[in-house]
Chain A
Amino acid sequence: MFKPTNALFGGLLWKTPWRLSSPQKARQRKRLRAVDSVVDTLSAALARNGQSAKAVERWYAEMPREEEMLPKDKYTLFDKKEKSYRKSIHKLPKWTRVSQRVNPPGF
């Protein structure tokens, strides 16, 4: 259903701010740490039973932890269409429920 709003009637009206606020960044860090702790729990439990899982090992091999990440990677992501090749992470659809940690090297 079309709902006439200033944003949809054309013109330059951005309703989403271009950068994250500091509480948003704090919550983003909290979510990153929560995912880290889930993976740590899985790996510790499996190790205690002498088992391992491919997905867990792959995560450790490829993904940085929250404290190892640069602020740049925590709050922004690569976008080839941007002038600085970076846009804020809240432009990513479902950004609070997906893991987006690595970006192309050099950008």
Chain B
Amino acid sequence: MSFFRITLLRSAIGLPRRSTDVLKALGLKKRMATVFHAVSPSVAGQIMRVKELVSVEEVDRRLTKQEVHLQRKPDPGYYVEKRAEQERSEVNGLKSRPGARDR
């Protein structure tokens, strides 16, 4: 079971209403929003309608909102020594878990 990770990069402002409706159906409400959908012909057809606006990756599982946020979060440039061990294990856990398949 794999999933499409779909990110809206360009807005559909000024495009035909069908494009806006397809984005709504996919659950993409604003730019840089990320949604996950199971791989299926119907989802593929929906993505084809808005292929100029989105970026798509195939991933093994749905990431939670927090995980997507953590991937986008920049490195703060510091760490708290008391929590260093715990933070390192969290980061390693996030890296070792299979996220993207084709990168």
A residues near B (Cβ < 8 Å) are 31, 34-35, 38-39, 41-42, 44-46, 48-49, 51-56, 59, 94, 96-99
Find chain A residues with CB under 8 A from B52 CB. 31, 35, 97-99
Q: Can you list 7 A-B pairs, Cβ within 8 angstroms, ordered by A?
A: A41-B4, A42-B47, A42-B56, A45-B4, A48-B2, A51-B40, A56-B45
Contact size range, B:
20 to 34
With the chains together, A49 CA to B52 CA distance in Å?
A: 24
Which are the 3 A-B pairs with shortest beta-carbon distances? A55-B48, A53-B44, A53-B41
Given A52-B41, A53-B48, A55-B44, CB of A97 within 8 Å of CB of B56: no
Find chain A residues with CB under 8 A from B75 CB. none
B residues near A (Cβ < 8 Å) are 2, 4, 10, 12, 14-15, 39-42, 44-45, 47-49, 51-58, 102
Find chain B residues with CB under 8 A from A39 CB. 48, 51
Find chain B residues with CB under 8 A from A53 CB. 41-42, 44-45, 48
With the chains together, A46 CA to B2 CA distance in Å?
A: 10
Contact A45 B2 (CB under 8 A): yes
Find chain A residues with CB under 8 A from B57 CB. 41
When A and B form their complex, what is the total count of cross-chain residue pairs whose Cβ atoms lie within 8 Å? 66
Find chain B residues with CB under 8 A from A42 CB. 4, 44, 47-48, 56
Find chain B residues with CB under 8 A from A96 CB. 10
Find chain A residues with CB under 8 A from B54 CB. 38
With the chains together, A22 CA to B14 CA distance in Å?
A: 26
Give A92 Cβ to nearest chain B Cβ, in Å.
13
Contact A97 B53 (CB under 8 A): yes
With the chains together, A41 CA to B58 CA distance in Å?
A: 7
Give A89 Cβ to nearest chain B Cβ, in Å.
14
Contact A46 B51 (CB under 8 A): no
Contact B55 A34 (CB under 8 A): yes
- CB nearest to B39 among chain A residues: A45
With the chains together, A94 CA to B16 CA distance in Å?
A: 11
